[in-house]
């Protein structure tokens, strides 16, 4: 028979996989840990998802219940398991050129304006930040947009910072390797220009080329912690990230973004997000804002 708190998930031959029940009280403890560390608010509706993802951690570490696991996290001074837990519960839904109107506006208006200033004698400096970059599709889409809209970008002091909370997802992003299915939103001419096919069987696999990857710098960053970069940034993409924060955390984060943007810098947020009524940005169009 199974110990208390355990239930049978499935039986495969003689191997029995077990899943540990997560009580409401244990979920609340985990929610507090996550909120204190990175500002993410986990509603009780996420309990099933959290349990499904963290059961893998419990099995790997050999814990029989969540109280043991929570105590292990609290004793872990290095924070390794806390990082692993956040990796496990993070949602990393993304795609190339997601919300395509953002990239069109970025290329046409923002980069066009910056390139015009540079041609008139301004410094050829460009800084873009992808905050919550997930598996890399967003920053590589930004890099393609930069290359397509600024001639001879190699002669510029240009860099794209790509940050995420998940170390696991960052390791994947740095490689820039994607299946044909993952790059289907990339137009064929851009795919030919910026990617190469590295495998054809059992499915086609592509890798972003070195010139594009060299423009993007990946780093782990907790948006609620200190920011080692000084900026200023010309553009910040923080899309579909703030939906996980409560309103007060969102307001603080938006003001921090404003502080690290250059004058006239542009902030892009997700189409399911809003800056609310009280903010100090100039509204440009839905989900696009400019520092006053």
Known catalytic residues are 53, 164
The C-alpha atoms of residue 222 and residue 186 are separated, in whole angstroms, by: 29
Beta-ladder partners of 290: 266, 282
Assess contact for 129 and 163: CB atoms under 8 A.
yes
The C-alpha atoms of residue 191 and residue 206 are separated, in whole angstroms, by: 9
The token pair that represents 249 in the structure block: 């955390």
Cβ count near 264 (within 10 Å): 13
Sign of CA dihedral 21, 40, 217, 288: positive
């Amino acid at each position: 028979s199974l110990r208390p708190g355990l239930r049978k998930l499935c039986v495969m031959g003689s191997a029995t996989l077990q899943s540990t029940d997560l009580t409401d009280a244990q979920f609340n403890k985990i929610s507090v840990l996550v909120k204190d560390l990175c500002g993410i608010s986990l509603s009780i509706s996420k309990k099933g998802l959290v349990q499904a993802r963290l059961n893998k951690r419990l099995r790997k570490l050999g814990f029989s219940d969540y109280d043991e696991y929570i105590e292990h996290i609290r004793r872990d001074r290095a924070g390794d398991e806390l990082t692993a837990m956040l990796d496990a519960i993070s949602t990393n839904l993304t795609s190339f050129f997601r919300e395509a109107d953002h990239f069109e506006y970025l290329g046409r208006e923002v980069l066009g304006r910056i390139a015009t200033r540079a041609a008139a004698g301004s410094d050829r400096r460009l800084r873009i930040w992808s905050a919550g970059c997930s598996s890399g599709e967003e920053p590589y889409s930004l890099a393609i947009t930069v290359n397509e809209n600024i001639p001879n970008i190699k002669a510029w002091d240009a860099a794209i910072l790509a940050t995420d909370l998940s170390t696991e997802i960052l390791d994947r992003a740095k490689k820039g390797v994607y299946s044909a299915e993952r790059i289907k939103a990339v137009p064929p001419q851009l795919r030919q220009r910026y990617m190469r096919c590295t495998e054809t069987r059992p499915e086609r696999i592509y890798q972003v080329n070195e010139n594009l990857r060299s423009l993007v710098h990946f780093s782990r960053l907790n948006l609620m912690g200190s920011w080692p970069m000084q900026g200023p940034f010309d553009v910040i993409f923080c899309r579909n990230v703030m939906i996980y924060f409560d309103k007060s955390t969102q307001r603080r984060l938006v003001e921090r973004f404003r502080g690290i943007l250059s004058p006239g810098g542009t902030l892009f947020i997700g189409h399911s997000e809003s800056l609310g009524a009280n903010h100090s940005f100039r509204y440009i169009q839905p989900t696009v804002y400019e520092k006053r």
